[in-house]
Structure 1
Amino acid sequence: MAVWLKIVTFAIRAAQLICAVVIVGVAGQYIADPIPDKKGDLGHLSRFIFAIVFGTLSAIFAIIWLIPFSSNHMNWKFDGVLALPLAAAGGWLVYCSVDICGKVAISDVSEAAEPLGGGDNGELIDPGTSVCTKWKVLYVFSLAAAALWMISAMIGFFWVKKHFVKPKAPKAPRRR
């Protein structure tokens, strides 16, 4: 395997780990300290539980596959499968946040990065952050994690395709 591919794979796995930790941290903080909306309703917490479950799986497999072996590329199918529920979690969060927070915009990406690391007591997100900002952080990082898992699946697919060529059947001898 080329050295540059190992470096790229390591960087992608590290980014997957960072996204997964942010997903688990923000969703866990929301579940532990829920903030009711204007109607006093917390909404269904199932979307956050879904995000935590697949964020945790993403973190576990990113840690395991941070160890650089060429066999990591053999797991490209699992990378692609893990991208699907992370994208679904992001989509579910977008769908549920439209009523309260408004339409999704490209500026949500920059807004999602602002509150990170703002807590004085070591919190992931500043305690004064609004519900909408927390949701933006969740769906931006869920969709980013899904994209990273899909990219690693494509790298693995092309690596396997290049390095494992099926042997051709031997030709039968010609008769005279």
Structure 2
Amino acid sequence: MALAEILSIILRLAELAFAAVVAGLNGDFLHASRGASSWDLARHIYTEVVAGLSILFAIVWLFPFSGSFIHYPADFFLSILWFIAFGLLVDWLNGSCGYIFDWGEFSFRDTASCSQFKAVVAFAFLSAICWLVSAILGLYWTRRHTRTHHTTTTTAAPTYHRRRWYRSRV
């Protein structure tokens, strides 16, 4: 299963990069809107918190251990958080910058512009997809490695179980 481990590392690096881009661009917008009401900036604060959590967990789970695959529930949860952030940001733009995936007038020169918001939305969506694929990969790997191996012979063959991570030896 070396392929799954390599894919897991690639996904963690992508999750880390996408979260860092969202945190940087969104943090720049939050910095530029100092003095605004927290309620007006709630979507962006939520997105910044999700990006921070994603950076933390992506760094911690980047190390290639087989235990990194058992975090698929947390990966799925983070994927849901990213999809919520994506929806909130798309709703916040509400067509004010044109169609959300229209990249025709994309520019790097403006700060806090439509292109910056569209980049945050796009990277939030990409991050959500990466976390979802990581959760599916973890679920697949865990299910594959926790199966009970039976034989069809009449001899009493041993049954192998992988010990759950939350059960102690006591």
TM-score by length of 1: 0.76
CA distance in 2, matches of 1:11, 1:104: 27
Match runs of 1:103-118 below 5 Å: 103-105=99-101, 107-108=102-103, 115=108
Match of 1:93 among 74, 89, 97: 89
| 1:14 aligned partner | 13
- CA shift digits 1:33-52 (9 cap, x unpaired): 139xxxxx9x8211110000
Once the two structures are overlaid, the 10-residue window that deviates more, 148-157 or 26-35, is 26-35
2:116 paired with 1:134: yes
Q: Percent identity among equivalent residues?
A: 29
| 1:25 aligned partner | 24
Match of 1:165 among 147, 152, 165: 147
CA distance in 1, matches of 2:65, 2:80: 24
TM-score by length of 2: 0.79
Match runs of 1:145-156 below 5 Å: 145-156=127-138
- CA shift digits 1:33-80 (9 cap, x unpaired): 139xxxxx9x82111100000000000000001100011110001100
After TM superposition, give the deviation of residue 130 of structure 1 in Å: 5.0
After TM superposition, give the deviation of residue 132 of structure 1 in Å: 1.0
| 2:59 aligned partner | 63
CA distance in 2, matches of 1:5, 1:167: 21
> What 5-or-longer segments of structure 1 have no aligned partner?
36-40, 116-125, 169-176
Q: Where in structure 1 do 4 or more consecutive aligned residues deviate above 3 Å?
A: none
8 Å CA contact retained: 1:20, 1:55: yes
